[in-house]
Amino acid sequence: MNFIVVGCGRVGAELSFRLFKNGHQVVVVDNNKESFNRLHPDFRGRTVEGEALSSDALERAAITKADGVAVVTNSDTMNAVVGHAIRTHYPNVKQVIVRNYDPAMRGMLEAFGLQLVSSTAWGAERVQELLIDPSFRAVFSAGNGEVEMYEMYISPKWDGLTISNLLDGCSNTICAALTRAGRAELPTPDTKLKNGDVLTVSATLEGVRSLRAKLQEGQEA
C-alpha cells in the first residue's frame, strides 16, 4: 500500500520506518530537510521537502495514489488543518489519521471529524492503570484508551461462580472471551468460572474500577 507521513519528528520517523519494514511504499513530507536525518538508516522510502498545506508538496508526494495519510507534526492546529484539507480535496485517500499532542486541543480535532490518536492521553491512561493495579493486563486499546481490553486471572474464590455473578454491578464492562487450558471460547452469562481461567473483558476505566472492587470482595470473602 502507498502511505504518506506528514511530519518527520520522532513519531513521524518511527512510523515511516515501521510502515516501510512492513513492505509498504512510504513518502515522508516535512518543510525542514534536516528533519529527514531522524529517519532510520535502512529506510528506503521517498522524502519530499515542502509545506504540507501546499498542493505542490502533496502532489510531489503522489497524494492521488495514496491509500492513507498520517499527519503527525508537533502542531495540533497544523494537523487539523492539513488533515481536513486532505480529506476534503483528495477523496481518493481512504484513511486520514492525525496526531493529537495537547489534550486541550483534542476537542478542536474532534470537531473536524478527524480520526485521531493522542499519544499523551493514551500514555497517561496506561500509566494510571499500571499504577492502580498491574495485575490487569491491557491487551488492546480502542480510540485513545477510553475503552480497553484486559486479561485477568480467576482466583480460587470465584471457582464455580458464573460470569454473571462476577459482572453483576460492574457497569461499562463486557466479557469478550474466556480461555481455559489454552482454549478460548465465547462465554455466556451462565458460564461457570474455574480457578486459573483467563477472562478477557472490555471495559472503560470506570468499569475496571468496579470489577477490581468486585474481585477484591471475592478475595476477602
Q: What pLDDT sits at residue 221?
A: 43
Backbone dihedral region for residue 165 (phi beyond 0: left; psi -120 to 50: alpha; all else: beta): alpha
State how far the Cα of 142 lies from the Cα of 157, in Å rounded to an integer. Answer: 31
| CATH assignment, 133-220 | 3.30.70.1450
Q: What pLDDT sits at residue 218?
A: 54
Nearest alpha-carbon partner for 130 in 116, 118, 141 = 141
| CATH assignment, 2-122 | 3.40.50.720
State how far the Cα of 171 lies from the Cα of 148, in Å rounded to an integer. Answer: 14
Contacts of 148 (CB under 8 A, 6+ apart): 125, 129, 138, 140, 141, 142, 202, 203, 208
Is the whole-model pTM more than 0.85?
A: no
Q: What pLDDT sits at residue 12?
A: 96
Q: What pLDDT sits at residue 137?
A: 75
Q: What pLDDT sits at residue 130?
A: 63
Domain boundaries, the chain: 2-122, 133-220
Q: What pLDDT sits at residue 22?
A: 94
Q: What angle do CA 116, 120, 124 make, to 5 degrees?
A: 125
| Tens digit of each residue's pLDDT (9 = 90 or more) over 59-118 | 999 999 999 999 999 999 999 999 999 999 999 999 999 999 898 888 888 888 888 888
For 124, other C-beta atoms within 10 Å of its C-beta total 14
* Residue ranges for the chain with pLDDT beneath 50: 220-221
